[in-house]
Structure 1
């Protein structure tokens, strides 16, 4: 089978197309003939071995696949890597049937980024009706879904940040009430101004560095900053307990892997997201489709922030 394999850690240049034997299904696993694989920003960390979980070599990256099982079911599933390939082995309990009317790209947008957005708001931030929500990288895969879900879950004001006018316009089309520039310089003041001069209740933050620092400074009493990434690869200033107690603020970390296998945290929200997509209440954004052999170019584009929405590898090409 064709697959993208890495034999050394590094940047996009280490991603190479090779021929490999197809995996064999172990007990509790399914083989999926992959039609499309999803690309996450986290994949770039996996490839350079800077992710929360350590990687081993050689490795076929890719944690999201959609395709057909041997009995003809069309499923979307999380994989323990191995997704950038024509055949992937996935844990049976992590495979979810895809309803009619939901495309490959839409299903892949939901399996990590949609679930992440859902849990950021529901589980970690515990959003309440009327609260203000800041969504950083609001045109990205997770951000574009978080904007829509925040409105659906009753947010009073959704403030989007994005690096270009085109991306800010997309966030507004998806339901954000206002969109501001993502530059860390002056971020706190822009967020407060965007919230009619008041500090904000919830921030969904995945950049790290000075954006994290400015977001924390913009939190109102009892506000929650949920951190779920470090796209800048720059750590924020260490948070001291007094900073949190002094304004009754909270910083909450989130990693989707902790939801897997926990009752009510995987299949149920995934079913809700798929149903919302099937009936048009949720519109996952597919931002780019690349042939399998162009996986390195896809990683270059996502790292350079040239993309929006969900990036897809078309494994049939």
Structure 2
């Protein structure tokens, strides 16, 4: 089968098209003929050797796939060949075929197309659990969403409103992206590339600050975000897109009873019922139109390097999708 693989860490140029064997199945796994693959910052971090956990070489990236079940392991009972499914996997999505645990598969409603479905799992579950499980957002609270025109951010803006946020403040780097965030339901939008952007956030909250912040940039953005927090506020860190991990002194959180919380989506996969329940909920919200997904571009599998360049160059909006 055709796949995109890298044999060394580096720039997008290390991604190469290769011929490899189809994955062999364990008793509890299924083989999925891939119809769409979601592209994420985790893929670029894997490629650079900078992911949260080690990335073995050679490596086929890709953690979220949609497709049709082509074969099932001997112990699989509730999944059939021909089922149309979406799931998260550890790796191997940038390929014509991928294997997945049968227990992790979610059926795709007929009304939801492959490109939309594949835009849900990684970024949708991240936004969902940052707000609820980790951020413990309560009705009426104020939420700050960075990179609000991106995959996670655009979903987080909508979910925060769905879950009862009193105010959602979005940040984005361009007027076009800020306008998109407002159209998705944000109450205010801030240019976080300008100096003293946190003053705008504080003014928008009457000087009180925000209750929950979704932070994935690191560096100075993290430190400025902490300064935007209200007493008892929660900053949920789910990435370091700048490549500059922030250094902090925990004692500095004490005077306002602040919390800084880390989130790593693969840990949710270790709780299958939580994973499936929340993914089902997200699919329902998309199917009913309560949450709208922004698919920023659909590319062929061979264009993976180009897609990585566009993503890391901050030249995209919404979800980027590869199609084998």
For residues 275 and 322 of structure 2, the distance between their equivalents in structure 1, rounded to whole angstroms, comes to 24
Residue pairs, 1:151-230, within 5 angstroms: 151-183=161-193, 185-230=195-240
SS in 1 for 2:119: helix
For residues 9 and 27 of structure 1, the distance between their equivalents in structure 2, rounded to whole angstroms, comes to 33
Query: 1:292 is matched with which residue: 273, 296, 301?
Result: 301
For residues 223 and 30 of structure 2, the distance between their equivalents in structure 1, rounded to whole angstroms, comes to 43
Residue pairs, 1:217-256, within 5 angstroms: 217-236=227-246, 238-256=247-265
- Tell me the matched-pair count: 314
Contact residue 137 and residue 160 of structure 1 kept, 8 A: yes
Contact residue 103 and residue 272 of structure 2 kept, 8 A: no
Q: CA deviation at 1:263?
A: 5.3
Q: CA deviation at 1:22?
A: 1.3
1:100 aligned residue: 110
For residues 244 and 25 of structure 1, the distance between their equivalents in structure 2, rounded to whole angstroms, comes to 48
**Cα-Cα RMSD:** 1.1
2:74 aligned residue: none
1:114 aligned residue: 124
SS in 1 for 2:62: coil
After superposition, give the CA deviation of every residue in 1:130-163 in whole Å (9 maximum; x if it has no partner): 1000000000000000000000000000000001
Question: What residue ranges of structure 2 are gaps of 5+ in the alignment?
Answer: 71-80
1:270 aligned residue: 279
SS in 2 for 1:308: coil
2:73 aligned residue: none
For residues 49 and 26 of structure 1, the distance between their equivalents in structure 2, rounded to whole angstroms, comes to 28
The question of 1:69 aligning with 2:74 is answered no
After superposition, give the CA deviation of every residue in 1:73-101 in whole Å (9 maximum; x if it has no partner): 00111122110000001111221111111
For residues 193 and 84 of structure 2, the distance between their equivalents in structure 1, rounded to whole angstroms, comes to 41
Contact residue 160 and residue 179 of structure 1 kept, 8 A: yes
The question of 1:302 aligning with 2:320 is answered no
After superposition, give the CA deviation of every residue in 1:162-205 in whole Å (9 maximum; x if it has no partner): 01111101000000001110216313212112223321111100
Contact residue 231 and residue 258 of structure 2 kept, 8 A: yes
Q: CA deviation at 1:242?
A: 2.3
Contact residue 187 and residue 211 of structure 1 kept, 8 A: no
For residues 3 and 145 of structure 1, the distance between their equivalents in structure 2, rounded to whole angstroms, comes to 29
1:312 aligned residue: 321
Contact residue 104 and residue 272 of structure 2 kept, 8 A: no
Contact residue 184 and residue 211 of structure 1 kept, 8 A: no
Question: What residue ranges of structure 1 are gaps of 5+ in the alignment?
Answer: none
Normalised by the length of structure 1, the TM-score is 0.97
SS in 1 for 2:271: coil
For residues 184 and 112 of structure 1, the distance between their equivalents in structure 2, rounded to whole angstroms, comes to 30
SS in 1 for 2:126: helix
Residue pairs, 1:51-62, within 5 angstroms: 51-62=51-62
Query: 1:130 is matched with which residue: 140, 145, 152?
Result: 140
Q: CA deviation at 1:118?
A: 0.4
After superposition, give the CA deviation of every residue in 1:282-310 in whole Å (9 maximum; x if it has no partner): 11111111111000000000000101111
For residues 230 and 110 of structure 1, the distance between their equivalents in structure 2, rounded to whole angstroms, comes to 21
Contact residue 100 and residue 278 of structure 1 kept, 8 A: no
